[in-house]
Structure 1
Amino acid sequence: MSRRSLVKLSLGAVVLGALALALGCASKPAKAADKPAPATPPVVLPPLPPPEKLPRVMLGIDVLEAEGFKAVAGKKIGLLTHPAGVNRRGESTVDVLRRAPGVRLVSLFAPEHGFDGVVKAGENFTNTVDKRTGLPVYALYGQGLEKSKAMVKGLDALVIDLQDIGARSYTFNVIMSHAMEACFTNGVEVIVLDRPNPLGGLKVDGPPLDPENISGVGAYPRMPYVHGLTMGEIALMTKNGSGAISSLKLTDAVRAKGRLTVIPMRGWTRNMRWPDTELKWVPTSPNIPSFEAAVGYAMVGLGTQHSPWEWGIGREYHFRGISYPKKTPDEIIKAMDAYKIPGLAFVKRPGTDRDGKPITGVYVEVTDWDAWHPTELSFYMHKQAAKWSRLNPFAALTTNEQRSFRIHVGSTAWLSSLQREGSKVDVPLFLKNWAERAAIYQEQTKKFWLYPWGDPAPAAAPGKK
């Protein structure tokens, strides 16, 4: 057999063998345990990060950044702020402006409590240097106008970013008016980055400020204790309001030449209280660590002015707890419940005293925001103090204490009646008069409003049927 024939025979055998193998395999039944070949496993991707959850309200600093910093571009600026001056992400306004293109932040200015927010109420402090940024920090609080003028001289603009709490005697609105006066007389522009009024923009309540009681804790004549305005709106009123409500003692010519820019918020409406904004609270001062404390400041702050009453339950519940010497929580609750103050409830809560020991105190709850009049409790606290004291404590105030009481409360007539009548003082009569005057003030200041009522809007504005 030739070699070629042998190769053909071998190839044929291979082909026949392969065919037989294929037919044999096909003829065998599939085993029951056989499983189909697994499908290609899906590609597992890491989960996408959730979109950044930002608060619904854009603050003035957020709007300034969103608009490309146009209001401050190319300017040499100073910044009046404190730890609560942050954007809605919680980033310091100082840092936001330092990284802003074309902006020269050259100096910082501090209100009451200092740039770091740790100085006690009423304490003065000196100029210093911020260790983190190396920028000079000027103390505006407690300074006269001439010193303040020297501090802002050479700036193109002073930016103001202060978180107020909606009460007249909280001095940030006074510091702002003081700064505006220094800037206007120096040809320096004022730029206010607006922020929410934590109590909302519809509540006005409490005694108006008598003009003779204007001071460092109250600069705006006839302003109710709870004013219902934002810092931006107060700034507009300061520049454009009449002398009857504005604090500046400048000539009309200087006021007209003063340059003011307010950067409004976006997404804020007057019916919003702080929790509605979704913003995180940053302490505005040592004793206002929370929104709850800001509410309490308006509620019991005046009641503890030169009075036996004290706020807090030991080291806790700033301005929300109340106590009275030698009176038990049950006695306090019984006395205050008797006044039937709308929107409030008095309950016992545990706390810790200065030595770390457990105590029980009285906590003031707001049960109905619409019915609640923020300052009403304070004046019943005054009345009750006169009732519980053997001698009227307000009749025994020194001259300096009387002045301090008047400039905080705002009403000379209230102190006079309290000293004269003691526990028989007619609280409802004063409350009615103050409410009427507060409604008039609100009508007068509506032209400075930057924000709508909100949804749903009230059926009628205060004072209207």
Structure 2
Amino acid sequence: MTNKWMIALLILVSCSGAAERSDNGNKAVGKPDAVNKTISEPSGIVTGADQVESYVPYLTGKRVGMVINQTSIIGNQLSVDSLFGLGVDIKMIFGPEHGFRQNASNGAAVTDEIDSQTSIPIVSLYGKNRKPSKAQMEALDILVFDIQDVGCRFYTYINTLADIMEACAEHGKQLIILDRPNPNGFVDGPVLDMRFKSGIGKFPIPITHGMTMGEFARMLNGEGWLANGVQCDIKVIPLKHYTHDLYYELPVSPSPNLNTQASIILYPSLCLFEGTIISQGRGTYMPFAVLGAPELKDQYEFSFKPVSIPGMSEAPLHKDKICYGIDLRNYDIKGLHATGRINLQWMFEFYKAFPEKERFFDSSQSAAMGRIEALIGNDEFKTQVMAGMSEEEIRKSWEPGLSDYKKMRQSYLLYP
């Protein structure tokens, strides 16, 4: 490493412990301070982004596009600010769902703008366009992808990754992927029946796919899942000291409604309720940590009231109505993570408790994600729950697809 780079890195490291930005870029609404802390070192994990010396040489002298959001940090600083300060010629920022500074609600269209901190143009990939245009790609030499995922089929950042890979392949650009841990690194759930392909399920994978973004990119290439079977020239900057079963606390909220570590770990289980009449806490400051509905007043004592919260959920299910149910904010999430399984017992419990069974799987009032078939990935689960089938009986119906996926996945893993 040259003296110039050594000095730059020393400056970067000295700045990485600085206080958080004064704007909301690194701070989700209602998020406890514990979720914002820099990851403590017992695990010794080093993210791809933090290995500046491993990838900045590829960017030097090139026109760079960055696919990033508020999770894209080097130390405690947004990576775009760090790299901009190191002289990297960043020409464009591409922002996914929720926007670059995480100021848009789930599903809300995001507009193009100019970043107030760096004056770099920000192009939305969650508005009228889902991938960069020909003109935008021609203005760049190389792209960097650095977004924290949570490891679920219905979390849209893997769709953004695929779109970017397709654009790079179509225009002959290399994509550098700065890998980050998957907080839900286990594999579970039925593999998506492609009859139910949608914006919350585009690939034949289980609910929790057990891969980092770098690994998933390898699978997209290897399985020919990109449009027209194109192959993207990718270079993954791998994590150091990471394993898939490691319990990992995110230093930054990945999206407005995953604003605590509990919500992140509970998300694979609780998001299925978006295909029901049961609120998962959207419209509160504890989304994906509570469950309830107005009709359950006689069954539960705990209550909450969803309201319109700009930047989180403007039109939540059961808006301005008191919902009764359960509070999972103090649930043993480390224990749940250790099982390597989605919890289906809450679905059975609420179906049994809900007085109007024919309305339970009605998601028409929700402005969130969609039908239970699209979320779970098949048209069997709804019938199975209504028939009172046991969890093990339901899990048996996920085979052999789940086992076949696990075998296929092995070819693309970068970590044990």
TM range (shorter): 0.7 to 0.9
Paired residue for 1:210?
A: 193
Cα deviation 1:390-418 (Å, max 9, x = unaligned): 534437969x9997433222113334x26
Alignment partner of 1:110 out of 95, 109, 112: 95
Distance 1:392 1:357 in 2: 17
Residues 109/226 of structure 1: CA separation in 2 closer, same or farther (3 Å cut): same
Tell me the distance in 1 between the aligned counterparts of 2:171 and 2:104: 29
CA shift, 1:144, in A, is: 4.8
Alignment match, 2:176: 191
Q: Distance in 1 between matches of 2:178 and 2:414?
A: 13
Partner of 2:82: 96
Aligned with 1:273: secondary structure? coil
- The answer on whether the counterparts of 1:157 and 1:189 sit within 8 Å (CA) in structure 2 is yes
Deviations 1:285-343 (A, max 9, x none): 111112211112111111232x2211139734321211122324x835xxxxxxxxxxx
What is the TM-score when the length of structure 2 is the normalising length? 0.77
User: Secondary structure of 1:191's match?
Assistant: strand
Alignment of 1:360-399 (within 5 A): 362-364=326-328, 365-366=331-332, 368-369=335-336, 370-371=338-339, 373-377=341-345, 379-380=347-348, 383-384=351-352, 388-389=355-356, 391-394=358-361
Deviations 1:214-240 (A, max 9, x none): 22222222x10011110111111111x
Q: State the alpha-carbon separation in 1 of the partners of residues 368 and 78 from structure 2.
A: 38
2:183 maps to amino acid? P
5+ residue gaps, structure 1, are 1-51, 333-347, 453-465
Change beyond 3 A, Cα 1:451–1:259: same
Do the aligned partners of 1:366 and 1:372 also contact (CA within 8 Å) in 2?
A: no
What residue number does 1:446 align with?
A: 410
Give the aligned length: 362
Letter in 1 for 2:377: G
Q: C-alpha displacement at 1:284, in angstroms?
A: 1.4
Counterpart of 1:211, as a letter, is M
Residue 117 of structure 2 corresponds to residue 132 of structure 1: yes
State whether structure 2 residue 224 is matched by structure 1 residue 236.
Answer: no
Q: Distance in 1 between matches of 2:166 and 2:363?
A: 38
* Structural mapping, 1:24-423, within 5 Å: 55=41, 56-63=44-51, 65-67=52-54, 69-87=56-74, 89-101=75-87, 103-144=88-129, 148-199=133-184, 201=185, 203-221=186-204, 223-239=205-221, 241-243=222-224, 247-251=225-229, 254-255=230-231, 258-275=232-249, 281-305=251-275, 307-312=276-281, 315-328=284-297, 331-332=299-300, 362-364=326-328, 365-366=331-332, 368-369=335-336, 370-371=338-339, 373-377=341-345, 379-380=347-348, 383-384=351-352, 388-389=355-356, 391-394=358-361, 404-415=371-382, 417=383, 422-423=386-387
Which structure has more RCO (C-alpha within 8 Å, separation ≥ 6)?
2
SS state at 1:262 partner: strand
Would you identify which runs of 4 or more consecutive aligned residues in structure 1 move more than 6 Å?
348-353, 355-360, 395-398, 400-403
Q: Which runs of 5+ in 2 are unaligned?
A: 1-16, 18-37, 309-319
Q: Which residue of the partner structure matches residue 339 of structure 1?
A: none
In structure 2, C-alpha distance between the alignment counterparts of 1:179 and 1:127, rounded to whole Å: 17
Contact 1:204 1:226 in 2 (8 A): yes
Between the aligned partners of 2:350 and 2:237, the Cα distance in structure 1 is 41
1:144/1:108 Cα in 2 relative to 1: closer, same or farther (>3 Å)? closer
The worse-fitting range, judged by mean Cα deviation, of 71-80 and 104-113 is 71-80
Looking at structure 2, the residues matched to 422 and 302 of structure 1 have their Cα atoms a distance apart, in angstroms, of: 15
Displacement of 1:196: 0.6
How large is the RMSD of aligned CA atoms in angstroms? Answer: 3.4
Determine which structure has more spread, i.e. the larger CA radius of gyration: 1
Does the CA-based 8 Å contact 2:155-2:200 persist in structure 1? yes
Instruction: Give the AA of the match of 1:82.
Output: N
SS at match of 2:296: coil
**Aligned equivalents of 1:141, 1:325: Cα separation in 2:** 33
Tell me the amino acid that sits aligned with residue 296 of structure 1: L
The 8 Å contact of residues 316 and 352 in structure 1, kept in 2 or not, is answered as no
CA contact (8 A) 2:293 2:325 kept: no
Q: Which residue of 2 aligns with 1:22?
A: none
Distance 1:61 1:161 in 2: 7
2:90 is paired with a residue of what secondary structure? Answer: strand
Closer, same or farther: CA 93–396 of 1 in aligned 2, 3 Å: closer
3-state SS of the aligned residue for 1:61? coil
AA in 1 matched with 2:394: F
> Relative to structure 1, is the Cα distance of residues 354 and 161 closer, same or farther in structure 2, using a 3 angstrom cutoff?
same
Q: What is the identity, as a one-letter code, of the residue corresponding to 1:79?
A: M
Q: Hey, what's the Cα distance between the residues in 1 that align with 2:394 and 2:281?
A: 27
Measure, in 1, the Cα distance between the counterparts of 2:70 and 2:363.
39
Which secondary structure does the structure 1 equivalent of 2:227 belong to?
coil
Cα distance in 2 for partners of 1:208, 1:128 equals: 38
Cα 1:377/1:107, change in 2 over 3 Å: farther
Identical pairs, percent: 27
Tell me the amino acid that sits aligned with residue 247 of structure 2: R
Paired residue secondary structure (1:185): helix
